[in-house]
Structure 1
Amino acid sequence: MLPIRPRHIAVLLGPPALSTVLLAGLSIWTHVSTRTARFPGENVGDPDAPPATEWGLVLGAEMYPSGTPSPMLRARLDLALELFRAGKVRRLIVSGEEPSNAQASQMAHYLVERGVPADRIVADEDGVDTYASCRFARALPGLTTVTVISQDYHLPRALTICRSIGLEAYGVGDTGLRRGAPWAWRRSVRREMVANVKMLADLARQQYRQA
């Protein structure tokens, strides 16, 4: 990956037409560069898609104050369950922000209630965003490969982050909400394009600190 400098980020804040083109280009880049590492959630039973890894990383989403996961988060957790039961992951990281609705601990609780042993789950309580979640996984001793579990529109950015910080990463994506809540899906896809700018800023800061 080419070095990212702060001045490169600043370009994205230029004239609106140029910004639009660059945002689209960035989205295309993340999609193309990760295409062979992304797998649909519908095929978790396929022997080769996705490949089995020791660790799965469930990225957080909204948890209601009652402790009930939002439809988006429930889809991620149910997909993690499928992967675990199919032997595609043996351990799970649940990443969410605490103490905001006890997101990570409630995610773990959801999985334990459905049969995942508690000692197979690691809770990341500082998962404030995708970058932080990937950094947490990278810091776990012995973790070099991970299966990222989220909605499929989220995977290109998440996998790009993982690869940029030294992880071999695959992604399994839920697509059910595309049909069940198309308006929310389209909104999230649009937000993802903007989130790519933050990804570049996070990676640029990391490179600056390591320089």
Structure 2
Amino acid sequence: MSDVDRPYIVFSDVDETLITIKSMFDFLHYQLVRRHGTAGEEEYERITAAIRRRAADAAPRAEINRFYYSHYKNVSVATVTRLADDWFTERTASTRGFYIDSTRRALRAHRAAGATLVLVSGSFPPLLEPLAREVGAAAIHCTRPLVSEGRYTGEVDTPVIGEGKRAAVLSQLASRPDVDPGDCYAYGDHVSDLPMLELVGHPVVVGDDEELRDRLARRPSPMRTR
């Protein structure tokens, strides 16, 4: 790992990188069933079928991300936050293998070495804040649904997907002129994480996305700032 005398940042994707599940969809199912019972189960199936159709039609991931959050329109932020806390408590208490242990161990080792941890995800704060506390992340860059009068509007600011992750990493690096990108690490599992991974000196692929591995192997090395 980096020399302890040289500060560095570790950026980590979340879904299927730090945890084994897709948090947005797992929570969508959880909260709909908790709020609406059988009708919530049916609504979940309708939403996910529509998302699969968009994905099959090659809709951009950022567009799908926006579509997902449109289904929170008029839902109370307080309700979602409460349910998200319940979801996290239940999943971490009863779901075997909630974390990808290799990633969690690596992040803990980085923290012990003095690194700053940053979560970068298309998910949203109620799901990510408990995870950030668990791993000791200092910051979260994520999709943030817009809120009006305590309720979600169904719209988002900027999806943190693909190039949105690149922008998030660049923003974090700009705030830390003492950090050399060449000393930094990033963890991701999908080719959509490439814009984030290619900015650092130590990209780590979690899982078996061969396209991501191949494209990383062809990338230019990040320019060192010092």
Flag whether TM exceeds 0.5 (same fold): no
TM-score between the two structures when normalised by the length of structure 1: 0.42
Specify which structure has the higher proportion of helix: 1
TM-score between the two structures when normalised by the length of structure 2: 0.40
Which structure: larger Rg?
2
